[in-house]
A = this chain, B = another copy of it.
Amino acid sequence: MYQLIELIAVVSSAIYGVLLARRHGMDLVGVFSLAFMVAFGGGTLRDLFLDRNPLFWIANDHYAVIVFVLAIVTSLIPMLPEKTERWLNLPDAIGLGFFSIAGALAAVEAGTSLFIASMLGVVTGTFGGVIADVICNRVPSLFRPAPLYATCSFLGCWLMFLLNASSLPEAYAVPIAIAGIVLLRLAADRWD
């Protein structure tokens, strides 16, 4: 199941990175570089912090090929800016949900405390977007009052810990926590 979570997280984050890069008028190299950073940034930091080796995108080297193909395919499609603006939120929220839980699960497995695990969930879920913001030279949205990426991620991790503690099997707790993060994030966008 862990592999599937990571794959979905990578694919949706890559799509988000590609759309974001296209909106900023980047060329193919920029599109691929940004997609690569958004898709692999958070997980790389998690793997470095937990000393997991090799890094998840070196161990699963088809991930990079997937991102590469995604960047090429979407570069062939002429972009419709008014539409993508709205569509950016969906892959962003999905990537946040799946990466947050992937980060928290990996940290728990490595034996950290639950509080540290939830922080690594937040780092894994949000760092790709923070890099994208720094690259695009904006104040990272994590630090502006509006859409609370870190809060959604943090609450979702604790929802999973609580469900686990109440002896719900992981096969249920994990999808519920992921869905919680994605829905909370989309709701925050809507009510902003």
Interface residues of A (CB under 8 A from B): 21, 24-27, 29-30, 33-34, 36, 44, 48-51, 53-55, 57-58, 61, 64-65, 68, 112-113, 115-116, 119, 134-140, 142-145, 148, 150-151
User: Are A33 and B142 in touch, CB under 8 angstroms?
Assistant: yes
B64 touches A148 (CB 8 A): no
Chain B proximity of A127: nearest CB distance (Å): 11
Q: Least Cβ distance of A14 to chain B in Å?
A: 14
Contacts of A144 in B (CB 8 A): 26, 30
Instruction: Tell me the minimal C-beta distance from A161 to chain B in angstroms.
Output: 15
Known contacts A58-B49, A150-B33, A26 near B143 by CB under 8 Å: yes
Which chain B residue shows the least CB distance to A48?
Answer: B48
Minimum distance in angstroms from A155 CB to a CB of chain B: 11
Of the A-B pairs whose beta carbons lie under 8 Å apart in the complex, a sample of 17, sorted by A's number, is A24-B143, A25-B145, A26-B144, A27-B148, A30-B142, A33-B142, A33-B150, A48-B48, A50-B54, A50-B58, A57-B116, A61-B113, A64-B115, A65-B115, A68-B115, A136-B139, A137-B139
